Amino acid sequence: MSPRAQGPLMAAAALALAAVTLVLCPLVGAVSLSWSDVWNGVPPHADIFWTLRLPRVVLAGLAGAVLAVAGTVYQAVFRNDLATPFTLGVASGASLGAVLAIHLGLGAVFWGVSTLPLFAFGGAGVVVLGVFGLARARGREQDPGTILLAGVTVSFLCAALILLVQFMADVGDTNRMIRWMMGGLDVVGWTPTTRSAPFAVVGLLWILSRARVLDQLLTGDALAASRGIAVRRERLLLLLAASLAAGAVIAFTGPIGFVGLIVPHAMRRITGPSHLWLTIGSAGTGAAFLAICDTIARTVAAPTEIPVGILTALLGAPFFLLLLMRGRR
């Protein structure tokens, strides 16, 4: 197969895998469902499917696609294979916002959403803007290395503040904080998906439209600028789009690691370096990967559910080490 044909074919295969996964995963669980019972509205199977299983799988697919595509953007913009959606402190900022909401006992509801995801999304946004503000204050906002270091530094600061809030909280609130930070998709109904989808979909479409720009940024700032790319503006917009889209899903799912790290790595080896097919392939594979992981997490120890963030870490770390060993050989 020629390299030019391999990219579109693998991207299409990834989307097909995501579609199959999103169709089959809602039927799997502690209680097995069948399409005939769901279609005929047989209680309680139909209620389980439409209220619990399908919203959860769709949210898992959306979150997996966003995290994988965000990882693709970070790795291209920073030209660093270890960059992830959490590099600029998105996850740390969201976690800090969430633990503050829990500690302060803010249980109000705005626009049909509790304050916890609102605080989480606000924390992610504030941290991202703070990182760019720090880089700009040093006059190094065009330097990916400075932005990367600022993100790592702010992440450590947020982690320290999270520990401080946990130290000051009572045992019950501390358990809630820890549970949220494990990452999970235990949602009921469509509200989390409908609230996060606008930010996520707009971010994904913007990133997809700038796939050719990502190809040029990967070659270096000087060469990209010589080809008519507004490097500073494009880098800023791409990072903001990836960070806000990731923050929108993390606000409802909690931090789920390794999806944005291993999926772009794996797909780059399959689709090739073109970011058009890499972005599409990463979105499809990320959606399928997280939906399958969540299905395993809620099934393997039923009726107990394992937080999916734990499972992705358990699966992702050995997989990434395997990629490193194969790459070294």
Q: Which structure tokens are listed for 126?
A: 């504030």
Q: Which structure tokens are listed for 70?
A: 């965000």
Summarised one tens digit per residue, pLDDT across range 159-218 is: 999 999 999 999 988 998 998 898 888 888 888 888 889 989 999 999 999 999 999 988
Question: Of all residues in the chain, what percent carry a pLDDT higher than 70?
Answer: 93
Position 146 pLDDT exceeds 70: yes
Question: First CA to last CA across the chain, in angstroms?
Answer: 24
Cβ 100 vs Cβ 119: under 8 Å = yes
Q: What are phi and psi of 114, to 5 degrees?
A: -70, 165
Average pLDDT of span 219-248: 86
Q: Where are the beta strands (DSSP E) in the chain?
A: 109-110, 113-114
Tell me how far CA of residue 277 lies from CA of 14, 42, 273, 311, in angstroms: 10, 41, 8, 27
Residue with more model confidence, 306 or 138: 306
Q: What are phi and psi of 257, to 5 degrees?
A: -90, 165
Summarised one tens digit per residue, pLDDT across range 19-69 is: 999 999 999 988 888 888 888 888 888 888 999 899 999 999 999 999 999
Cβ 182 vs Cβ 307: under 8 Å = yes
Task: Compute the distance between CA of residue 132 and CA of residue 306 in angstroms, rounded to an integer.
Answer: 36
Average pLDDT, the chain: 86
Task: Compute the distance between CA of residue 197 and CA of residue 200 in angstroms, rounded to an integer.
Answer: 5
Task: Compute the distance between CA of residue 33 and CA of residue 80 in angstroms, rounded to an integer.
Answer: 44
Domains and CATH numbers, the chain: 3-328 (1.10.3470.10)
Is residue 52 classed as helix, strand or coil in its secondary structure? helix
**CA trace torsion 120, 122, 128, 134 (10° rounding):** -120
Q: What angle do CA 248, 251, 256 make, to 5 degrees?
A: 100
